[in-house]
Structure 1
């Protein structure tokens, strides 16, 4: 630190978060595409999260399910695919080439090599045979439009091949080719997830051939993704960026230099904002409350979270793997959690009452009613359960 960096404090960071993540009454979005564009990516590991994250940010959430399904499955303006940290996200369509080149290629190479190596160890057929199965699978998927792994195996029976991995080890198991191969094809950008077999909360998703996209230079794609993310989520530290992208620190630093990111002073050290983004918000964020779902990209956006989430709340709000559960927000910080009971009631609990008075309680209650209004008869259980969510949902 040379003392020249502009200091951005907690209050300003919370205001930036609120305004750029479409969480204040005046910044609510019109369409799911607007939401995804503002957030860069929606966590897709739990299908319900995509819809809940969108609904929390729409000015009129009544059409959340239909409009998000339209964007995902009809217009294909949003695509569910593997991205940062080998995690499934939903991206704006114009970002898919950037994500694939910046984060997918390296993961894809490792995944294919791992698959071929595991097959060889188990005495399974070689890479040439694997390529034949791959080509037949993609051809079948093209004919069908969308299909499950079981449906594809009807056209290409070799997808049902199984082999034992880690034989003799405590973690010995059985791999089915369809599971491993489709995952490889996913990170390689050849297939994406399609319509669910059930409703919008279903985790049983069909596969579809990925739309064609340009092959970009890796360094240029990394710069493009980092610029987009800093614009939406900056400031952030180098550690935050390394964690969110899953890149090596050298890649993060190269991209920061390439986009001319500007350094700032944060409570936890040196941070960065996009070029030209040093000025504070022109207007302060008005008071706001939100009920955000498990794995929401706002709650999961940074590795260092003390500026919006008190450390003492983490044991109640996160599972053992570090996945955040449903969160209650008041004016830029997490103050509690929420859940849905079997009868459909949305219940919530404030865990941190600092500055949470009558106004906050009323706003949180309105957000809960708003959520129940568009969720309707659907019952939502997070894929990753947390202690307080389990307790509230009974």
Structure 2
């Protein structure tokens, strides 16, 4: 574990909002999402925990549901062909920048689903008309709507019909209806905001990624954003003094100047969901998570099936939560034995999860 690599990891935990001491650096959910530009929310329920970790104790699962219902944060397909939480003020310019690239990445899926241009334009218009005037519809209701117009839409095919409508800036997430998600007309859900010229948008997205994820590499950004290498090079040149670079292991790492926050007391244990930006925001330099080679995170030999247990900056195990009868059971599988201080920090992290969910936390730990 070289000092240079460990220093990068410490700086990175600060940038992603996990390494700083209290008080929490973010005011609310929109502040967290805006810091990143987009926060992956493939699984809505556990993605809320990624927000809560950055907001600090006192934020509950119900609080974040209310923020989502109120449109404080939105959930849609942007950056990559997957869901992200996005702040309303960022959604339009991000989609203008990234949608053409994501459409290109989706070409094979559109073809596989027999979704040509005229059909996709028709389905997008039908869906937009149907959800207008606050008539928020679930996925099942949209499928039934399309069926009434003679369009088969189920499973994979329905998914890409909806993704297309999102990328075309026609629909986005609406409020929850019980446990079901709904779609809303983007024009009604997202306040009008000034558009960004393409170069300005490139500079902003590049700056925001390296500020919130740095130190990181351009290959990391290419994965995270779907931007081409040429676009990233343009964004870096336009970002100017807002970013700085350092070379480690033969790779150039970019970050905002002085991006490190005051380290949290050690040992600090974090229960990260598998799509947390600290885990999923990188490809080339994900190895910084596991400098001790305790878990095969970087090599791809095994994924973290539910979530990662991080001690200070390093993966030290995996975890799964099960909620039942007023209790959340945290099954923790450790890559190595924890000492007394680390064990106490693990229990404190579990208690924080319990407070977020409004239940008592129980820890069941084992060692690989």
TM over 0.5: yes
* Residue in 2 that maps onto 1:385: none
Q: Select the structure of larger CA radius of gyration.
A: 1
Q: What CA deviation, in whole Å up to 9, does each residue of 1:181-233 have, x standing for no partner?
A: 2221012222112234444xxxx421111125544333321211110111111
Residue 161 to residue 376, structure 1, CA distance change in 2 (3 Å): same
Task: Indicate the larger mover: 231-240 or 101-110.
Answer: 101-110
Q: Does residue 97 of structure 2 align to residue 102 of structure 1?
A: yes
Q: Which residues of 2 match residues 104-119 of structure 1 at below 5 A?
A: 104-108=99-103, 111=106, 115=110, 119=114
Alignment partner for residue 254 of structure 1, among 234, 251, 261? 234
**CA deviation profile, 1:346-385 (whole Å, cap 9, x unmatched):** 23232145xx532222111110122123224699xxxxxx
Q: Does 1:292 align with 2:272?
A: yes
RMSD: 3.5
Could you say what secondary structure the match of 1:329 adopts? strand
How far has the Cα of 1:46 moved from its partner? 0.6
Q: Which residue of 1 aligns with 2:139?
A: 149
Alpha-carbon distance, 1:32 to partner: 1.9
Equivalent residue number for residue 208 of structure 2: 228
Q: 1:292-339 deviations in whole A, cap 9, x for unaligned?
A: 11211111121122222245512699797x676311111111111111
Q: Which runs of 4+ in 1 moved over 6 A?
A: 174-177, 315-320
Gaps of at least 5 residues in structure 2 are none
State the alpha-carbon separation in 1 of the partners of residues 264 and 5 from structure 2: 13
For residues 98 and 109 of structure 1, what CA distance do their matches in structure 2 show? 18
1:350 to 305, 311, 334: 334
Cα distance in 2 for residues equivalent to 1:70 and 1:141: 21
TM normalised by structure 1 equals 0.76
- Match for residue 161 of structure 2? 181
CA distance in 1, matches of 2:216, 2:298: 25
Structure-2 change in CA distance of 1:208 and 1:378 (3 Å): farther
Unaligned runs of 5+ in 1: 1-6, 164-173, 380-388
1:339 aligns to what SS in structure 2?
strand
SS at match of 1:290: strand
Q: 2:43 aligns to what?
A: 46
Distance of aligned partners of 1:362 and 1:323 in 2 relative to their CA distance in 1, 3 Å threshold: closer
Match of 1:35 among 10, 32, 35: 32
CA separation of 1:319 and 1:307: change in aligned 2, threshold 3 A: closer
CA distance in 1, matches of 2:162, 2:330: 37
